Structure 1
Amino acid sequence: MTATAALELRTFTTIDDVRGDLLDVYADVRSDLLHLPNYSVTAFGERLDRHGAEPGFVAVVAYSDGFPVGYAYANTIEHGDRYWERTNPPPSDRHTDGPVAALKEIGVRRPWRKTGTARRIHDALLARRVEPFVTLMVNPVAGDGKVYALYESWAYEEIGQSQPSPSSPLLKVMIRPTVWPPR
């Protein structure tokens, strides 16, 4: 298995069909953080189950020779969602007055990083979204700031910060139009 092998992107709309693959990739991607309560596989599994039961759940998983190498998943959030209530400062109504796609997780195994795999997964996920905006939360120190910079290069803009749980680090909340560049 190499990063140059052809990738197949598969889309899932129910968690049961993809949960095992998401857990496997997550455990590999976050292997150096699994000792922290917020990053444990158990904590991720609980978040995954909750997100998978929420409206608009969609996951895109990249496979190389049948082996899952990366994923992203999102669901729909509405005005008044706890996602927005925890964001400080409160985001503008321009962004929150209707449904928004919330990109909850994205991860790519090490051999497939810096190959465009994450961007392909991200773009395939957004191609299925009907919401006008997509938001995400990112740890600003992840990858020594490189993950935050990557999202900026994908046209995400910071609009606030959030700490989704007591064991979570303080995260930056970012947003952009779902279709980029805007039409």
Structure 2
Amino acid sequence: MTTAPAIELRTFTTLDAVRGDLLDVYADVRAPLLHLPNYAVTAFGERLDRHGGETGFMAVLAYDDGHPVGYVYGNTIEHGDRYWQRTAPAPEDEYTKGPAMALKEIGVRPAWRGTGTARRIHDALLAGRAEPYVTLMVNPAAGDGKVHALYRSWGYEDIGQSQPSPASPVLAVMIRATR
């Protein structure tokens, strides 16, 4: 890993001010997959709009010289949320009985990968959260398994699988304590 560049981290609690930057970075991050229906920019925009209106929405973006280079966002999920309902096997009550942070997306432009930028924005997102747990879904095949392994190195553990939509691959559901 190389040294992290001098980036500025900005936190947002509403989508309006940051939607364009999120779409811009997403298109670059997911460029090889944009031809697949679930990864199309329009599909991401629809998910983003839905997530941006959910309780506890928060995004952290990394900027290099005023240009967005990475992002992470998520929101609060409660007991009974469809996130948990789609997870099989059903997660332990310890994880679902109270609110949790659902990390919905994280991405870093190719030129900033391997610099620690993803970890910095991830940790900045969690720094101000009150939820005891953070959960995410990852395609186990992403990066030939490297993305899944990266999340494990950050302390996440597998607790099940989910297929959020018919166009989505089957994803690994992972969780860890926020602190």
- C-alpha separation in 2, matches of 1:38 and 1:142: 14
Q: CA deviation at 1:4?
A: 5.8
> Structure 1 runs of 4+ off > 3 angstroms?
none
Return the alpha-carbon distance in structure 2 between the equivalents of residues 5 and 142 of structure 1.
25
- Residue equivalent to 2:65: 65
Which position in structure 2 is the counterpart of 1:157?
157
How far apart in 1 are the matches of 2:128 and 2:167?
A: 32
- Residue 135 of structure 1 corresponds to 135
- 2:4·2:116 contact (CA, 8 Å) conserved in 1? no
Letter matched to residue 49 of structure 1: D
The residue that corresponds to 2:145 in the other structure is: 145
Contact 2:5 2:115 in 1 (8 A): no
Q: Distance in 2 between matches of 1:5 and 1:95?
A: 35
Same amino acid, percent of matched pairs: 76
Total equivalences in the alignment: 177
State the one-letter code of the partner of 2:58: V
Distance 1:38 1:74 in 2: 18
Q: Which runs of 5+ in 2 are unaligned?
A: none
Partner of 1:46: 46
**Contact preservation (8 Å) 2:26, 2:107:** yes
Tell me the SS of whatever aligns to 1:114: coil
- Return the letter of the residue paired with 2:147: V
**Closer, same or farther: CA 174–4 of 1 in aligned 2, 3 Å:** closer
> Is residue 9 of structure 2 the alignment partner of residue 9 of structure 1?
yes
Structure 1 portions without partners, runs of 5+: none
State the TM-score, normalizing by the size of structure 2: 0.98
Q: How does 1:90-101 map to 2 (within 5 A)?
A: 90-101=90-101
CA distance in 2, matches of 1:47, 1:151: 22
Give yes or no for the alignment of 1:74 onto 2:54: no
Supply the distance in 2 between the matched residues of 1:21 and 1:123 (Cα, whole angstroms). Answer: 20
